[in-house]
Amino acid sequence: MKILHTADWHIGKKLHKTELAEDFDLFINWLCKTIEAEEIDVLLVSGDIFDLANPSSEARRQYYRALVKMNRFDCKIILTGGNHDSPAMLEAPKDILKALDIDIIGGMPQNPEELIIPIKNSEENTELVIAAVPFLRDADLRKSAEPETYEDRVEALKMGIQNTFFEAAQICERKYPAVPALAMGHLFTAGIETSESERDIQIGNLAAFEASRFGSYFKYIALGHIHKPQRVAAAVPAFYSGSPLPLSFSERRDEKRILVIDTEESWEPRSIAVPSFRSLLKISGSLEELSLKLEQLEEKKDLESFIEVELQEEQYDALKIYALDELVSGFQKEGYRIVKHRAAFKNQLKGAGQAFSAQRQLQDLQPKDVFLELIAKHEYDDGTKQDILSAFDEILEDLHRDENAEL
């Protein structure tokens, strides 16, 4: 039996206010081809189907279109809810999806036996069992009285997660003895690498679950929540497949992938790289360097490339900030768009309150004194400096004129 593990689709996600709907459609088209080519029997999606608990109508339509496309293949589909998902929203069409051989576990059910999904082969024999554990919320994990200390609360959460997987293993063993079992999970485990786009869970990720607590019953653990693909140190193969699309610029260098397990060969997964449909580029340097790098852009993908630009200079200079804005607003190159820009100065400009010694109070200073001190930090030539001072004098004179008129 061949199993495909993916997670963290985040349908409806925006990156710098830009919808990633096109990216997801391209991924699903590629995924369908992969399911067919690899002859996948079971598709697992370990949480965070949507980016928001209340996704837009277009995000929901995209989700159902994806399920329809994948349902054309002889492939069992199992999805679990993540911390971004609403269990009620995911499970609303549960009975209809069940009729299409699609199982969805949005949240922890009252009866843990509902987590267990048997997978039958062509002879209608149970060949594999899936413990489809969704994201476990605090209410699912703390069944007894509120722990007194913070440390007790963290340990209670960890024990709650451990007991959930232990109970799922017991049910599998009791109902399907000698049948290999696989678990799904959506949680934060200890010792893994994160990115900027994961939302903190379980007390701000401080309740990092030690993967050794998963135990050794399950043959494989298909994890979701962490967007960087990686293995965790468990007694059995346990992997985060990672998100199939880069969801922040911190993920721009990640090799996105899906994982395929062929149970007839091994429970160690085989990694298949997801094509990169859009480049996320981060460009930094001086104004001259930025201009040159933007001119030399050559890498083209299926979709428009997004660019973050950072101006890096030694001394603060308002004219350089203005020049950066002009560079960004004037940038036009087919297939590329600057979505964010900022300026960073090694020698930051001090505020007016820091520009003078402690012996001099800000209220005792004249406006011209403060202004002279501040522009002294800029790299202006004499002519520009004189023009700025003249403009300041005019503004100051107009201000005094208005104040006298009010009197």
d(CA 4, CA 406): 76
Cβ atoms 80, 186 nearer than 8 A? yes
10 and 50 in contact (C-beta within 8 Å)? Answer: yes
Residue 190 vs residue 274, higher pLDDT: 274
pLDDT of the residue at 350: 53
For residues 331 and 372, state if they share a domain.
no
Task: Give residue 132's pLDDT band: very low, low, confident or very high (50, 70, 90).
Answer: very high
**Number of compact structural domains in the chain:** 3
Cα separation of 179 and 177, whole Å? 5
Q: What band does 393 get if pLDDT is binned at 50, 70 and 90?
A: confident
For tokens 């933007």, the residue is 294
Q: Which residue has the higher pLDDT, 152 or 362?
A: 152
Q: For residue 153, how many other CB atoms are within 10 A of its CB? A: 18
State yes or no: pLDDT of 205 exceeds 60.
no
Residue 175 sits in a domain whose CATH number is 3.60.21.10
Q: Strand order of the sheet with strand 336-347? A: 280-285, 305-315, 336-347
Q: Do 173 and 295 belong together in one domain?
A: no
Give the distance, in angstroms, between the CA of residue 281 and the centroid of all CA atoms in the same chain.
17
Q: What is the tens place of the pLDDT at every residue in 312-367?
A: 988 888 888 899 999 999 999 999 999 999 998 887 655 544 545 544 555 556 77
Q: How far is CA 211 from CA 34, 170, 190, in A?
A: 30, 18, 7
More reliable by pLDDT, 199 or 205: 199
pLDDT in the model for residue 298: 84
pLDDT at 407 over 70: no
For 61, residues 6+ apart whose C-beta sits below 8 A from its C-beta are none
Whole-prediction pTM value? 0.82
* Residue count of the chain: 407
In a shared domain, residues 235 and 312: no
Regarding whether 102 and 186 lie in a shared domain, the answer is yes
147 and 265 in a single domain? The answer is: yes
Q: Do residues 10 and 247 touch, judged by C-beta distance below 8 A?
A: yes
Last residue of a domain, one of 347, 362, 378: 347
User: Considering the chain, what is the average pLDDT of its residues?
Assistant: 87
Please say which residue of 347, 377, 396 terminates a domain: 347
Task: From residue 345, give the alpha-carbon distance in Å to each of 32, 293, 318.
Answer: 48, 19, 11
**123 shares its domain with 264:** yes
CATH of the domain at 334: 3.30.160.720
Return the SS3 of 387. Answer: helix
Residue 308 is part of which domain span? 278-347
Can you tell me the distance from the alpha carbon of 70 to that of 64, in angstroms, rounded to the nearest whole number?
Answer: 10
**Higher-pLDDT residue of 391, 210:** 210
Residue 54 and residue 175 in one domain: yes
User: What's the start-to-end Cα distance of the chain, in Å?
Assistant: 89
Examine the fold and report which residue of 273, 288, 306 is the final residue of a domain before the chain moves on.
Answer: 273
Q: What percent of the chain has pLDDT over 90?
A: 65
Token output for 26:
């391209």
| φ, ψ dihedrals at 118, nearest 5° | -80, 145
| pLDDT tens sequence across 238-265 | 999 999 999 999 898 889 999 999 999 9
Higher pLDDT among residues 352 and 384, named by residue: 384
Which is higher by pLDDT, 99 or 349? 99
Q: What is the 3-state secondary structure (H, E, C) of 259-318?
A: EEEECCCCCCCEEEECCCCCCEEEEEECHHHHHHHHHCCCCCCCCCEEEEEEEEEEECCH
**pLDDT confidence tier of residue 168, bands split at 50, 70 and 90:** very high
Q: What is the pLDDT of residue 204?
A: 47
Q: What confidence tens digit (pLDDT) does each residue in 7-65 have?
A: 999 999 999 888 999 999 999 999 999 999 999 999 999 999 999 999 999 999 999 99
Query: Are 172 and 229 members of one domain?
Result: yes
